[in-house]
């Protein structure tokens, strides 16, 4: 019977019910969108960082990651590669040799990384090739042809076909220098990276750097990227203690930490929003319930028990909250879905995004139905909880107090 009454009340106070539902629905949609957004931006950040350059699994000589130096290189790349290739689930193994050099062009001189790569394999383990902005990507037989980051090129005032020089040291600590020519310019979107990295084809690079069969790190692409951590531990066992094998979770641990921190701030912000929503809903319910206090007094006077009044009001509030959460859930889910397919791009906000290492200010939301359901459940309980205080408060009044309430 009270279920029927609860519906009658909801229908009778159409405007009030509509406002309550609207309030709850907007809050729900907001929560769902915000968490989809946070999740999406973090996912995007990881994907970018891992796939653009750093790779899913990195193998280095022991101690190199902690304290890099030419004494801790992989000195027999060929046999390491052979070992790694025996591990099932490995797709591509590719060497890199990262060196720190000084680039100079005209009057400009800028420090940066000169990296020798296997152009064909590199195509598959990173997005270097697809980040081509102008000119052409490298081929294995290239010599002094350089593939340079867009920001580094800008700093050196270089364009396609321009010449530059570098000085550095070979792996045998000998003096190394050469004249290079810009073959291609790339822009990955990782700002720091685009501002410091340049690539040569490894065979020629090895001849200058005395680094034949030597690599500073070996990148492994798993057949199934989601199983990178498991594959890393198998490789670790296979290659033995002379090498360090790190999955992206380890190489990106700083990033993961900063994202966790970002999540914490995100949740604090959400928490504050919730507190505001909570009190708005509570005050609104308080007003709504107290405008009905005379009626409730009559109900009590003619024999409705406090528990029955509680039941009636809770049914009403649950019904409205449920409606809110469903409507808000649909709106939130639709927006999360839409923006996961058509990511939001922030033109004009590139500066802020550079702080996060992203030059491309495009962020897709994540669309995970389970998370959305979780958010809906949280919101439902929050909304019902917010109405609890007013309901209990009005129920504490004695019937005559309620009838004579002004």
Task: Identify the DSSP state of 50.
Answer: I
Considering beta carbons, is residue 237 or 307 the nearer one to another protein?
Answer: 307
Minimum distance from CB of 50 to another protein (Å)?
60
Cα 27 to Cα 165, 247, 282, 359, distances in angstroms: 58, 39, 14, 32
**For residue 132, what are the β-bridge partners?**
186
Considering beta carbons, is residue 133 or 294 the nearer one to another protein?
Answer: 294
Minimum distance from CB of 292 to another protein (Å)?
9
Cα separation, 125 vs 243, whole angstroms: 20
Residues 300-339 that bind another protein (CB under 8 A): 300-308
Minimum distance from CB of 296 to another protein (Å)?
9
Largest CA distance in the chain: 100
Minimum distance from CB of 287 to another protein (Å)?
17
Minimum distance from CB of 383 to another protein (Å)?
22
What is the three-class DSSP state of 364?
coil
Closest alpha carbon to 338 in 306, 367, 378: 367
Considering beta carbons, is residue 159 or 401 the nearer one to another protein?
Answer: 401
Considering beta carbons, is residue 120 or 308 the nearer one to another protein?
Answer: 308
Considering beta carbons, is residue 18 or 242 the nearer one to another protein?
Answer: 18
Cα separation, 197 vs 174, whole angstroms: 22
Burial class (CB in 10 A: 0-12, 13-18, 19+), 170: middle
Considering beta carbons, is residue 15 or 179 the nearer one to another protein?
Answer: 15
The yes or no reply on residue 1 touching another protein (CB under 8 A) is: yes
Binding string to another protein for residues 100 to 139, with x set by CB under 8 A, is what? Answer: ----------------------------------------
Q: Which residues of 368-395 are buried (b: 16+ CB within 10 A; e: fewer)?
A: beebbeebbebbbebbbebbeebbeebb
Minimum distance from CB of 20 to another protein (Å)?
16
Task: Identify the DSSP state of 367.
Answer: -
Residues 278-307 that bind another protein (CB under 8 A): 294-295, 298-307
The yes or no reply on residue 399 touching another protein (CB under 8 A) is: yes
Q: Which residues contact 281 (CB under 8 A, 6 or more apart)?
A: 20, 23, 24, 27, 383, 386, 387
Question: For residues 39 and 391, is the Cβ–Cβ distance under 8 A?
Answer: no
The yes or no reply on residue 85 touching another protein (CB under 8 A) is: no
Cα separation, 50 vs 106, whole angstroms: 35
Cα separation, 73 vs 64, whole angstroms: 7
Considering beta carbons, is residue 303 or 348 the nearer one to another protein?
Answer: 303
What is the three-class DSSP state of 386?
helix
Minimum distance from CB of 21 to another protein (Å)?
18
Binding string to another protein for residues 5 to 44, with x set by CB under 8 A, is what? Answer: x--xx-xxx-------------------------------
Considering beta carbons, is residue 130 or 305 the nearer one to another protein?
Answer: 305
Tokens of 86: 């025996």
Considering beta carbons, is residue 51 or 316 the nearer one to another protein?
Answer: 316
Using the rule CB under 8 A, give the single segment among 231-239, 275-283, 346-354, 397-405 that binds another protein: 397-405
Binding interface with another protein (CB under 8 A)? 1, 5, 8-9, 11-13, 294-295, 298-308, 398-400, 403
């Amino acid at each position: 019977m009270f279920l029927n009454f609860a519906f009658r009340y909801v229908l009778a106070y159409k405007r009030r019910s509509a406002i309550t539902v609207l309030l709850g629905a907007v809050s729900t949609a907001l929560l769902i969108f915000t968490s989809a957004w946070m999740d999406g931006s973090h996912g995007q950040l990881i994907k970018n960082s891992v796939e653009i350059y750093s790779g899913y699994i990195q193998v280095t000589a022991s101690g190199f990651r902690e304290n890099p130096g030419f004494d801790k290189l992989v000195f027999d790349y060929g046999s390491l590669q052979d070992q790694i290739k025996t591990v099932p689930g490995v797709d591509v193994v590719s060497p890199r040799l990262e060196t720190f050099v000084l680039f100079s062009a005209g009057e400009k001189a800028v420090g940066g990384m000169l990296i020798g790569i296997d152009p064909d394999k590199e195509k598959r383990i990173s997005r270097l090739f697809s980040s081509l902005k102008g000119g052409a990507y490298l081929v294995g037989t290239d010599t002094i042809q350089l593939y340079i980051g867009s920001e580094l090129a800008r700093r050196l005032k270089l364009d396609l076909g321009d010449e530059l020089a570098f000085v550095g040291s070979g792996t045998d600590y000998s003096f190394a220098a050469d004249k290079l020519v810009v073959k291609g310019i790339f822009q990955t979107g990782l700002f720091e990276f685009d501002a410091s990295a340049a690539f040569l084809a490894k065979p020629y690079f090895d001849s200058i750097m005395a680094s034949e069969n030597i690599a500073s790190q070996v990148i492994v692409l798993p057949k199934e990227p989601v199983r990178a951590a498991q594959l890393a531990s198998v490789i670790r066992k296979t290659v033995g203690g002379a090498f360090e094998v790190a999955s992206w979770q380890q190489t990106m641990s700083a990033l993961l930490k900063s994202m966790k921190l970002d999540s914490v701030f995100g949740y604090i912000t959400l928490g504050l929003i919730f507190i505001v929503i909570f009190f708005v809903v509570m005050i609104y319910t308080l007003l709504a319930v107290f405008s009905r206090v005379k009626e409730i007094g009559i109900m009590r006077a003619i024999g409705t028990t406090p528990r029955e009044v509680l039941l009636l009001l809770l049914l009403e509030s649950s019904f409205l909250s449920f409606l809110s959460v469903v409507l808000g859930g649909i709106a939130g889910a639709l927006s999360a879905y839409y923006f996961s397919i058509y990511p939001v791009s922030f033109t004009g906000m590139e500066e802020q995004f550079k702080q996060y290492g992203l030059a491309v200010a495009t962020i897709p939301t994540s669309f995970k139905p389970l998370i959305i359901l979780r958010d809906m459940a949280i919101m439902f309980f929050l909304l019902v909880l917010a109405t609890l205080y007013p309901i209990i408060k009005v129920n504490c009044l004695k019937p005559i107090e309620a009838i004579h309430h002004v």
